């Protein structure tokens, strides 16, 4: 006997309070052919409005916040571009959560760079 479908826990299960997400959004079927920089700039403006911590890089944008805030703003980026006439959008999102420690995306890069710096000292 399993009562999974009516299990009350699903309703009570909160999404993670913090996450780091990195997304690469691809507009498909735009009128501007293969160039997507105009759409990416629109996304950056929307992210700026969100108040979340974010960083544009060479293959996407990293942002930090609660799971719900992060996912809502990415969804809003899709909606905004659709409203601007983009028929189809595909995003790849890498999202990480952890309970062992709190670490910003800047911390993560620094941890690796610190390890690499000690290479030169050893040399």
Structure tokens, 123: 């040399």
Q: Please state the closest distance from residue 82 (CB atom) to its own copies, in A.
A: 5
> How do strand 19-28 and strand 60-65 relate by DSSP bridges?
antiparallel
One residue of 5, 52, 69, 102 binding its own copies per CB under 8 A: 5
Q: Please state the closest distance from residue 48 (CB atom) to its own copies, in A.
A: 6
Asked whether position 106 contacts its own copies by CB under 8 A, the answer is yes
Considering only residues 35 to 74 of the shown chain, the ones binding its own copies according to CB under 8 A are 35-38, 40-41, 44-46, 48-51, 55-60, 62, 67-68, 71-72
Q: Is 31 helix (H, G, I), strand (E, B) or coil?
A: coil
Q: Please state the closest distance from residue 110 (CB atom) to its own copies, in A.
A: 9
Asked whether position 18 contacts its own copies by CB under 8 A, the answer is no
Asked whether position 102 contacts its own copies by CB under 8 A, the answer is no
Q: How many residues bind its own copies (CB under 8 A)?
A: 77
């Amino acid at each position: 006997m399993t009562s999974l479908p009516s299990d009350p826990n699903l309703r009570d299960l909160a999404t993670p309070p913090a996450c780091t997400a990195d997304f690469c959004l691809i507009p498909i079927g735009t009128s501007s052919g293969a160039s997507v920089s105009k759409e990416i700039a629109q996304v950056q403006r929307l992210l700026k409005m969100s108040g979340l911590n974010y960083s544009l890089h060479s293959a996407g944008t990293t942002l930090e916040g609660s799971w719900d805030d992060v996912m809502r703003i990415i969804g809003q980026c899709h909606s905004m571009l659709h409203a601007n006439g983009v028929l189809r959008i595909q995003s790849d999102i890498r999202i990480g959560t952890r309970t062992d420690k709190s670490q910003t995306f800047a911390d993560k890069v620094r941890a690796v760079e610190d390890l690499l710096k000690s290479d030169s000292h050893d040399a």
